[in-house]
């Protein structure tokens, strides 16, 4: 028994270490398979494909030797056994039958099995990266942020009451189970109003640690929208986070005493507010005020004496959306699996990916980040009056300038995201959820577009200086410039080159204020 346990440990450890290299070999085999079908393989590619085949055989033999139950292992991997044996038939090409098959351009069995082998491993890895199919239930974590720890018990009671009130309506409207847990309570430094993005990192950390499908931040301070307007609640369908403030629900007017959290008005209007935000997260839009249902109004109703309900139309949509509501997750993924998981989850939610990129106007983001813009523009202005820069710019080809620009923008965006720790959560966690992966993709592409915007801004400024400020005769007097005439194409290439340098220096020296940049990325709704 002890020997079997030892074999199991060695076997699974071996699988874990071989997963990435064998996955990469499978991709290589798949690429060679496609080349062979459409174009044929070169002698070197033929040798390469045999080498990969031999490595697959060695991997399989090692696993057979280590496997605790060899017969069961072979039985469960019979397709792999066939795929490893049949390529050997390639050595019997002298047989007329195989020769006829090749002349008739019929794909031979080797190619079919090769496709099965590489495809099975490739799509198996993709399926693993997507994470297991989640259970049909939603786990919600309450993150309580208070300005005074004395109010902690009152806020916890408020959260428990809110969960008790909304749970029956959510379960009846969506057809799935809803679980509510108070995940964390923490004290704020002061009572000033905050944008919901302030809580984003802590909420995403709670989501990763607690394995929640959704996190609701309950706070007793004010919430500010991206338009700097006080709001009672905001939600992010991308990151699956709701922020709800009790300051608005307990307010009775200026210089008037606030209502208690356990009052009927606060209780049922909080439930209505929370259900409204959940509706947004699950894909419901605002309904006309004339229609019944929770999504038709965001105003407080002083006559409300029970938890409101979704309309039959809204329930029909919710039941359909709820099937995909629980988040997939990736546990203990390596870098490759994490990368693939982000890509797959983004393709599952393309609408949620593109919409914030349109709303946040990422190309104009450098205008809101003076540190980044200054660090890019200042050296560019100095460089444009430097003869050596003109000499280098005139000497390079258009292709070289374009390649240098593309690589610099990609590296600058990756550097900014990694150095400023913009990915959610900021600290590395062993679990990444489906919607956090989508949010991270939005964050990266927003910064990527911002770097493109910075590149265009600096390049346009350089062109203005070259065309309208820089003296034309001055260029001809520089002894290092051997070109007698400088064309518009040359000036564009020099502007591109200097702008590329500017983007690089901006990323390295300018930096970002992470909370400011996250606030501009439009992960939360702009208002209610």
SS3 content of the chain, % helix, strand, coil (to 5): 65, 10, 25
- Is 528 within a domain? no
Which CATH number covers residue 196? 3.40.390.10
In Å, how far are 27, 188, 463 from 249, measured between CA atoms?
Answer: 56, 20, 54
Rounded to whole angstroms, the Cα distance separating 142 from 249 reads 18
- Is 526 within a domain? no
Q: Are residues 87 and 195 in the same domain?
A: no
Which CATH number covers residue 84? 1.20.120
Q: Are residues 143 and 195 in the same domain?
A: yes
Q: Which domain holds residue 41?
A: 2-130
pLDDT in tens, 46-82: 788 778 778 878 877 887 777 777 777 676 666 566 5
Q: Are residues 38 and 147 in the same domain?
A: no
C-alpha Rg value of the chain to the nearest Å: 30
pTM given for the model: 0.74
What stretch of H or E contains 329? strand 329-331
Residue 227 DSSP code: T
pLDDT at 438: 92
Q: Which of 296, 324, 352 is the endpoint of a domain?
A: 324
Q: Which of 83, 104, 130 is the endpoint of a domain?
A: 130
What stretch of H or E contains 306? none
pLDDT in tens, 4-33: 556 666 666 666 667 667 767 777 776 776
| CA 325 remoteness from chain centre | 17
Q: Are residues 376 and 445 in the same domain?
A: yes
- The residues pairing with 180 across neighbouring beta strands, listed in sequence order, are 140
pLDDT in tens, 273-322: 999 999 999 989 888 777 777 888 667 877 788 899 998 999 999 998 88
Rounded to whole angstroms, the Cα distance separating 317 from 174 reads 9
Q: Which of 277, 297, 324 is the endpoint of a domain?
A: 324
Overall average pLDDT of the 152-158 stretch: 93
Asked if 312 and 292 touch (Cβ cutoff 8 Å), the reply is: no
137-146 β-sheet, strand order = 177-187, 137-146, 214-219, 241-245, 233-236
């Amino acid at each position: 028994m002890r020997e079997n346990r030892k074999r199991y440990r060695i076997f699974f450890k071996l699988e874990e270490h071989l997963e990435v290299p064998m996955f990469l070999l499978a991709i290589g085999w798949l690429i060679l398979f496609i080349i062979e079908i459409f174009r044929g393989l070169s002698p070197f590619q033929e040798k390469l494909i045999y080498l990969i085949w031999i490595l697959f055989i060695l991997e399989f033999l090692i696993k057979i030797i280590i496997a605790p139950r060899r017969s069961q292992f072979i039985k469960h991997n019979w397709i792999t056994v066939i795929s490893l044996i049949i390529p050997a038939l390639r050595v019997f090409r002298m047989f007329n039958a195989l020769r006829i098959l090749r002349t008739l351009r019929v794909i031979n069995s080797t190619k079919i099995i090769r496709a099965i082998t590489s495809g099975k491993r490739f799509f198996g890895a993709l399926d693993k990266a997507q994470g297991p199919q989640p259970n049909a239930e939603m786990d919600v974590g309450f993150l309580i942020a208070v300005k005074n720890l004395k109010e902690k018990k009152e806020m916890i009671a408020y959260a428990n009451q809110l969960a008790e009130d909304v749970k029956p309506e959510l379960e009846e409207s969506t057809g799935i189970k809803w679980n509510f847990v108070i995940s964390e309570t923490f004290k704020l430094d002061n009572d000033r109003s905050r944008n919901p993005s302030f809580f984003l990192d802590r909420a995403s950390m709670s989501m990763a640690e607690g394995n929640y499908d959704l996190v609701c931040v309950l706070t007793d301070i004010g919430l500010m929208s991206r338009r700097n307007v006080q709001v009672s609640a905001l939600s992010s369908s991308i990151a699956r986070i709701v922020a709800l403030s009790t300051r608005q629900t307990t307010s009775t007017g200026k210089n008037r005493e606030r209502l208690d959290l356990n009052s009927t008005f606060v209780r049922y209007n909080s439930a209505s507010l929370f259900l409204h935000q959940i509706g947004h997260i699950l894909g419901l839009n605002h309904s006309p005020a004339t229609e019944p249902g929770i999504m038709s109004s965001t105003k407080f109703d002083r006559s409300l004496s029970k938890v409101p309900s979704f309309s039959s139309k809204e329930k029909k949509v919710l039941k359909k959306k709820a099937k995909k509501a629980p988040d997939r997750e990736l546990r203990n993924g390596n870098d490759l699996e994490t990368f693939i998981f982000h890509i797959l989850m983004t393709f599952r939610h393309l609408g949620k990916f593109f919409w914030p990129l349109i709303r946040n106007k990422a190309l104009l983001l450098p205008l809101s980040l003076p540190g980044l813009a200054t660090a890019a523009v200042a050296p560019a202005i100095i460089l444009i009056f430097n003869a050596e820069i003109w000499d280098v710019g005139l000497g390079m080809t258009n292709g070289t300038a374009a390649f240098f620009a593309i690589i610099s923008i990609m590296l600058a965006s990756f550097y900014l995201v990694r150095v400023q720790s913009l990915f959610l959560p900021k600290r590395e966690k062993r679990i990444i959820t489906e919607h956090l992966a989508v949010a991270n993709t939005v964050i990266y592409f927003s910064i990527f577009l911002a770097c493109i915007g910075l590149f265009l801004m600096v390049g346009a400024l350089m062109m203005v200086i070259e065309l309208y400020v820089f003296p034309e005769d001055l260029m001809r007097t520089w002894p290092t410039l051997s070109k007698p005439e400088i064309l518009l194409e040359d000036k564009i290439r020099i502007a591109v080159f200097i702008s590329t340098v500017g983007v690089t220096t901006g990323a390295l020296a300018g930096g970002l204020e992470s909370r400011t940049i996250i606030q501009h990325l439009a992960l939360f709704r702009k208002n209610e």
